[in-house]
Structure 1
Amino acid sequence: MKTKRGFRRLGVIFIMVVMAIVSACSGGGGTSGTSAPAAGNQKQADSKGPVTVTVWMGSWWADYTTKIVDAYKKDHPNVTLKIELLPINGYLDKAISSALGGNAPDVLDLDGLMIPAMAGKDLLEPWDDYIKELDRKDFQDAPWDASTINGKLYGLPNRGESVVFFYNKTMFDEAGVPYPKDSWTYADMLEAAKKITVPGQKYGVGIAATNSDPANVMTSFAPVLWANGGDFLNKGNTEATINKPEGVKAIQFWTELYTKHKVVPEGSINFALTKDVQPMFLNNQVAMMPGSSAMVFLMEKNPQVKWGMVYAPDKFGRSGAWSFTVPKSAKNKEAAREFVLWYMKPENMGAFNSVFPSRKSATTVAPWNSKEMQYLLSAAPYQKGVPAIPAWTEMQVAIVNELQKVLSGAKTPQQGADDMAKQMNALLKK
C-alpha cells in the first residue's frame, strides 16, 4: 500500500510541475514568467497559422505586385498575399457585386470616387479605430478627405495625385508663344491655344469629354468650374449649384474651346485624356493637357518630346486618390488591416507604389524625389476633390451626358446646367 501511495504522490507532483511549466510559458496565471504578446504583435499573428489575404488592385500595379508579395512574406512568413489585378472598366461594378455576394476580397483598392458608392451601401469597414499611430498630417488632404464619408474614414490613401498642365515646348516654339508660368489663368491658356492652333493639323489644348470614363472628364472639366468660382454642390452637399451663374460660365468656357474657338481636336466629344489626347501630345499635335505622375513616366519613355510642367491655370487641379479599403464581407479582416498598415509605412509606400504616394514622407526616395515629382507634390495644396457622397458616381454620368449635349449644340450652357442640377437634386433625394 505504501508503495502505491508513493507512486500516486509522485504522479500528483509530476502533474503539478507540468501545469506550472505550461502556465509560465503561456504567460497565464501568476506574476512571474513571460507576458502574452500584445494585440497586433507579429508573434501572435504568426501563431494563428497560415492565412491567405486576397487583395484587389488596378492593372497598373502589374510591375510591383511580385515585389510587394515577396517583401510582405519576409515580414509575415505565415501570411500569403494573393494580389489580383483588375482593369479600370467595370472595376466598381465588380467590387460592389462581390461585396454584396459575400465573396469580396480582404483588401480592395478603390478610387476616391468609388468609396462613397460602397460606403453608402454599408459595404466597407471604417478605419477610425485602427489608425492611432498614423500621422494624419503626413498625408495629403485631398486623398484623405475623399476617403472620409459622413465623418468616418473608410479607406487609407495610398495614392495622392496632383494634376498640373504639361506643355509641348516644340509647339510653343514654332508658334512663337512664351511658355506658361505658374501664375497664368484660363484666359491666358485660351490666348496661347488660339495662337498655336492650325485647324486640322495641330491644336492648342486637349480636353476629355467621353461618357465611357466620366472620372476622366472630371479631371478636365472640374478645375475650370472651380476656377470660375463655381462648384457641383453647396457646402452641405444638399443641393446642386452647378446651374448658378459661375457654373454656367464655366460650362460655356469649357465647351466653347470646342464649339467656338476650335482650339481642341475634332472628335474631342468622345476623347479620353490617356487614350486619345496623350498620343497627340507625343506627336506634336496637342500643345497643352492636364496630367499627373503617369504623364511624367510617359515623357521619360519618349525623350524625343520637349516638354515642361506648370500649375494648372488658376492653379486648381482635381486630385487623384486611391485608398485601401476592407469590405464588410471580407473573410480575413484582421490580417487585411495588418497588411494595409504595413503598406502605409513610408518606406514601403515609397518603394512599392506604382503611382504618386499619398504620404509626403514616402516621396524621399526615387522616383518620387526627382525634380518633376517634387513639383507635383508642390501642387498638392491646390488640389480639390469632387463631392464625397454616395450619389456622385451617378451624378458625374449625368453631368458628362449634359456636357456632351452642349458640346454637340443640342443645348445651351444654361439649359445643360439646369438639366444637370435637376438630375443631381433628384439623386440627392434618393
Structure 2
Amino acid sequence: MKKTMTFSRLSVGLLAGVMLVISGCSSSNQSAPSTTTPAPGKGDQPAKTEAQGPVTLTVWMGSWWAEKVPEIVSAYKKDYPNVTLKIETLPINGYLDKAISSELGGNSPDVLDLDITMLPAMAGKDMLETWDNYIKDLDVNDFHAGAWNGSKINGKMYGLPNRGESSVFFYNKTMFDEAGVSYPTDNWTQEDMLEMAKKITVAGKKYGVGIAASNSDPSNVFSSFSPVLWSYGGDFLNKENTEAIINKPEGVKAITFWTELYTKHKVVPEGSVNFALTKDVMPMFLNNQVAMMPNSSSMVDMLKKNPQVKWGMVLQPNKFGRTGGWSFTLPKSSKNKDAARQFVLWYMKPENMGKLNVVFPSRKSATNVPPWSEPEMQFLLSAAPYQKAMPAVAAWTEMQTVIVTELQKVLTGAKTPQQAADEMAKQMNALLKK
C-alpha cells in the first residue's frame, strides 16, 4: 500500500483499510460504526468506583491542553455534578521534575498525565498506583498498542493512555518543486532522504531536513534520532533492557549518519544543536526554509492553520517511526483516589476521548469523529504498525539526558561518534545497575 499522502486525492482503499492496518498491532475485530459518534470499545462498562460527596479533583496536564480545559470541566460537571474538576496545565520543560517533587512532598495532584517515557521514572520509585484491578472491562485491543504497552512496566499497568501517536515524515511540496525533486514515497531509505536534502539545500537560505538536538525537549530529539538508529539495525538497550548496545557498530553508524547531516553535509539548519522540532524546525517548515521533518498529529493541526503551505506526508525513511503517548496516572499521595479513578475511567470512554482530546486519541474507536476521522489523521493510524517505543526502564529519563548530551558533543565536533557512543553505553549501564 502506498503511504504517501497528497491531499488533493486520497485512495478509498486507504480509508477503508485504516482500521484493519492498525489492528496489525492487536487482534481487535471491531468495525468502525457508521454514526458520527464513536462506539464504546467491546466490553466497556462504567467506572466501578464513584466519588462520594462534594470533591475537588486536581489534574495536571501539559500546556497544550489549555484550550480544551473549559470543555472538559463542563462535560464532566454534567455527568458528575458533585465533583469540581480543577485542571492545571504545565509546560513540558521541567514537567517530570515538578511531578516527582510534588509526590515527594506529599502534595501531588489527584491525576497526573505523564508521557510514557516519563512514566517509568515515577513507577520505578514506587510513586504511582496500579490500574490492573480497575480495567478488566476495558477493550485493550482498541487502544494504540505502543501507548498501552508503554504504560505497562513489569507486567503492571501504571497509567491509562489518553494519547497514542505515530511519527511520520512531513515534506514541503513547494521546496521540492522548486528544486525539481520528486516527492518521497513509502519505500524510501535514509540514504534517499539525504540525497533529496542535498538537492534542496541552499546554504544559509533553505535546508533539506530538520533535526532536533536540544536537551530542553528530549522527546523531540528521540523523534528525530531514534528512527535513524533503528534504520541501521541499532538500538539503545538489548531486548532484556539489561545492557546498553548503542555503542555497537550499528549504533555508531546511525550516530555518524545523523550527526553528519549537520557536520558534513550541512543539509540541516545552522544552530540545530539547540533546536527542538516544535519550537524551531516547524516554523522554518511553514516558511519554506526546511523541506522535511518528522512529526505527528500536532504538525497536521498546525499545517491546517497555515493553508498557504503545500505539504504531504509519508512514512519515515526505512518506515520506522517513534511511537509516543501520554497516560493518566494516579500518584500515591493523591488525596481523592476514588474520584481520580472515576474521572480517568470516564475519560477513557471513546465518546469522551474523541470529543475532548486536543491530541491524537489512544483509542481507535475514538477516531471516528472529526478531526480524527479526516484523511491526514487516518494516515497516522495506518503508520502505527511501523512504530517503536523507547525502553520502559526506570532510569530512562536520566539516559535521555546522557544520550542527548553526547549527541551534542558529536554535533559540535567535541567527540567522534564512537567516543560518544562508548560514553553513552558506559553511563547507561551504570544507571541500569542502580
Q: Same fold (TM over 0.5)?
A: yes
What SS does the aligned partner of 1:315 have?
coil
Q: Which of 315, 322, 335 is equivalent to 2:319?
A: 315
Aligned to 1:187: 191
Alignment of 1:180-219 (within 5 A): 180-219=184-223
**Structure 1 CA distance, aligned partners of 2:428 and 2:59?**
33
Aligned to 1:33: none
Aligned to 1:330: 334
Aligned to 1:52: 56
Residues paired across the two proteins, number: 390
Deviations 1:15-72 (Å, cap 9, x if unpaired)? Answer: xxxxxxxxxxxxxxxxxxxxxxx99668xx46x3111111111111111111111111
User: Shift of residue 383 of structure 1?
Assistant: 1.1
Structure 2 unaligned residues grouped into runs of 5+: 1-44
**Structure 2 CA distance, aligned partners of 1:79 and 1:277?**
41
Structure 1 unaligned residues grouped into runs of 5+: 1-37
Alignment of 1:249-328 (within 5 A): 249-328=253-332
Alignment of 1:362-401 (within 5 A): 362-401=366-405
Contact 2:46–2:345 (CA under 8 A) maintained in structure 1: no
Amino acid paired to 1:295? M
User: Shift of residue 85 of structure 1?
Assistant: 1.0
**Structure 2 CA distance, aligned partners of 1:202 and 1:403?**
23
Report 1 or 2 for greater relative contact order, CA contacts < 8 Å, sequence distance ≥ 6: 2
What SS does the aligned partner of 2:318 have?
helix
Amino acid paired to 1:385? A
What SS does the aligned partner of 2:130 have?
coil
User: Shift of residue 319 of structure 1?
Assistant: 1.1
* Identical aligned residues as a percent: 77
Alignment of 1:22-421 (within 5 A): 45=50, 48-421=52-425
**Structure 1 CA distance, aligned partners of 2:139 and 2:179?**
48
**Structure 1 CA distance, aligned partners of 2:93 and 2:425?**
27
What SS does the aligned partner of 2:59 have?
strand
Check 1:280–1:39 CA distance in 2 against 1; reply closer, same or farther (3 A cut). Answer: closer
Aligned to 1:24: none
User: Shift of residue 379 of structure 1?
Assistant: 0.6
Deviations 1:261-312 (Å, cap 9, x if unpaired)? Answer: 1111111111111111111111111000001111001101111111111011
Contact 2:47–2:345 (CA under 8 A) maintained in structure 1: no
Contact 2:107–2:333 (CA under 8 A) maintained in structure 1: yes
Amino acid paired to 1:99? E
User: Shift of residue 381 of structure 1?
Assistant: 1.1
User: Shift of residue 391 of structure 1?
Assistant: 0.4
Please give the TM-score of this superposition, normalised by the length of structure 2: 0.88
**Structure 2 CA distance, aligned partners of 1:59 and 1:402?**
29
**Structure 1 CA distance, aligned partners of 2:191 and 2:47?**
55
Amino acid paired to 2:283? P
**Structure 1 CA distance, aligned partners of 2:258 and 2:71?**
43
Aligned to 2:13: none
What SS does the aligned partner of 1:64 have?
helix
Check 1:256–1:304 CA distance in 2 against 1; reply closer, same or farther (3 A cut). Answer: same
User: Shift of residue 214 of structure 1?
Assistant: 1.7
**Structure 2 CA distance, aligned partners of 1:127 and 1:383?**
25
Q: CA RMSD in A?
A: 1.3
Aligned to 2:34: none
Deviations 1:101-153 (Å, cap 9, x if unpaired)? Answer: 11111100001111000001100001111001100000111111111111111
Higher helix share: 1
Amino acid paired to 1:293? S
